[in-house]
A and B are shown apart, each in its own frame.
Chain A
Amino acid sequence: MAELLLELFGEEIPARMQGRAADDLKRLTRAGLQEAGLPFERAKAFVTPRRLILHVTGLPLAQPDVCEERRGPRVDAPDKAIEGFLRGSGVTRAQCEERETPKGTFLFAIIERQGRPTGDVLAEILPAAFADLPWPKSMRWGSGTTRWVRPLHSILALFGGAVVPLTFAGIDSDSKTRGHRFHAPEPFTVSDFAGYRESLFAAKVLIDPEERRQRIADGAAQLAQAAGLTLVADDGLVDEIAGLVEWPVPMLGVFDRRFLDVPAEVLMTTMKVNQKYLSLRDGDGKLAPNFITVANLEARDGGGQIIAGNEYVLSARLADAEFFWTQDLKKSLESRLPALNEMVFHAKLGTLREKVTRMEKLAAALARYVPGANGELAGRAAHLCKADLVSDMVYEFPEVQGVMGRYYALNDGEVEAVADAIQQHYSPAGPSDACPHAPTAACVALADKLDTLVGFWFIGEKPTGSRDPFALRRAALGVIRIVLENGLRLPLQDIFATARGSYEFGEEQEEAEEGHSLLDFFADRLKVHLRETGMRHDLAQAIFALGGEDDLVRLLARMTALDGFLGSEDGANLLVAYRRAANILRIEEKRDGMVHDGAVDDSLLQQDEEVALAEALSSSVAKIDAALAAEDFAVAMAVMAGLRQPVDNFFDAVTVNTDDAAQRGNRLRLLSLIRATLHKVADFSEVEG
Chain B
Amino acid sequence: MTGTPNFNPKTFQGLILALQHFWSEQGCVILQPYDMEVGAGTFHWATTLRALGSESWNAAYVQPSRRPTDGRFGENPNRLQHYYQFQVIMKPSPSDLQDLYLGSLAAIGLDASIHDIRFVEDDWESPTLGAWGLGWEVWCDGMEVSQFTYFQQVGGYDCDPVSGELTYGLERLAMYVQGVDHFQQLAWNEPGNARSKSYADVYLAAEQQFSAYNFNHANTDMLFRHFADAEMECLALVAAGLPLPAYDQCIKASHLFNLLDARGVISVTERAAYIGRVRELAKACATAYLTAVGELIPDKLPKRESGA
Residues of chain A having any CB pair with chain B under 8 Å: 11-12, 14-16, 49, 137-144, 149-151, 153, 182, 244-245, 275, 277, 293, 295-297, 299-301, 304-306, 308-310, 312-316, 319, 323, 342-344, 347
Contact = CB atoms under 8 A, between A and B. Distances in A.
Given A300-B114, A309-B141, 10 more contacts: A12-B118, A49-B119, A137-B134, A138-B134, A139-B162, A140-B152, A151-B150, A153-B95, A182-B112, A299-B113
A138 B162 CA distance: 13
B116 interface: yes
B127 interface: no
Contact of A139 (B76, B77, B94, B133): B133
A305 B308 contact: no
Contacts of B94: 142
B150 A305 contact: no
A297 B181 CA distance: 26
A141 B150 contact: yes
Contact of A143 (B77, B92, B113, B152): B92
25 contacts: A11-B119, A12-B119, A12-B120, A14-B121, A16-B121, A137-B123, A138-B134, A139-B152, A140-B162, A142-B93, A296-B118, A297-B113, A299-B113, A301-B114, A304-B114, A306-B114, A309-B140, A312-B141, A312-B181, A313-B176, A316-B181, A319-B77, A342-B268, A344-B268, A344-B269
Given A182-B113, A297-B116, A141 B269 contact: no
Contacts of B245: none
A685 B136 CA distance: 57
A183 to B, nearest CB: 9
A146 to B, nearest CB: 11
Given A295-B116, A306-B115, A342-B267, A15 B141 contact: no
Contacts of B179: 312
Contacts of B116: 293, 295-297, 299, 306, 309-310
A347 B150 contact: no
Interface in B256-280: 267-269
B305 to A, nearest CB: 13
Contact of B136 (A12, A140, A277, A295): A12
Nearest to A302: B114
Contacts, number: 116
B239 interface: no
Nearest to B98: A11
Contacts of A293: 116, 142
B190 interface: no
Contact of A313 (B98, B123, B142, B269): B142
A257 B133 CA distance: 40
Contact of A310 (B92, B93, B141): B141
Nearest to B267: A342
A343 B268 contact: yes
B143 interface: yes
Contact of A244 (B93, B113, B118, B141): B118
B9 to A, nearest CB: 15
A125 B190 CA distance: 61
A281 B114 CA distance: 29
Given A140-B152, A299-B114, A315-B181, A347 B269 contact: yes
A348 to B, nearest CB: 12
A38 to B, nearest CB: 33
A539 to B, nearest CB: 41
A309 B92 contact: no
Contacts of B78: 316
A373 B181 CA distance: 50
Contacts of B133: 139
A314 B152 contact: no
Contact of A306 (B76, B77, B141, B267): B141
B302 interface: no
Contacts of B134: 137-139, 149-150
B145 to A, nearest CB: 10
B64 interface: no
| 10 nearest A-B residue pairs (beta carbon) | A309-B141, A14-B121, A12-B119, A295-B116, A143-B161, A310-B142, A139-B134, A142-B92, A313-B143, A313-B142
A308 B142 CA distance: 10
A670 B135 CA distance: 74
A97 to B, nearest CB: 56
Given A137-B134, A139-B162, A153-B95, A309 B113 contact: no
Given A141-B162, A342-B267, A312 B112 contact: no
Contacts of A295: 116
B239 to A, nearest CB: 32
Nearest to A12: B119
A150 B152 CA distance: 12
A275 B134 CA distance: 21
A275 B142 contact: yes
Residue from A12, A141, A313 with most neighbouring chain B CB atoms (10 Å)? A141
Nearest to A305: B114
A21 to B, nearest CB: 13
Nearest to A314: B142
B70 interface: no
Interface string B72-101: 000011100000000000001111001000
Interface in B98-128: 98, 112-121, 123
A418 to B, nearest CB: 28
A245 B268 CA distance: 40
B160 interface: yes
A60 B138 CA distance: 45
B109 to A, nearest CB: 11
B119 A309 contact: no
A244 B118 CA distance: 8
A15 B93 CA distance: 23
Nearest to A253: B142
Contacts of B114: 299-301, 304-306
Nearest to B90: A142
Interface in B214-243: none
A149 B135 CA distance: 9
A16 B181 CA distance: 32
Contacts of A151: 93, 95, 150
B140 A15 contact: no
Contact of A142 (B76, B95, B117, B120): B95
A344 B270 CA distance: 12
Contacts of A309: 115-116, 140-143, 176
B162 A142 contact: yes
Contacts of A138: 134
A142 B161 contact: yes
Interface string B153-191: 000000011101000000000001001010000000000
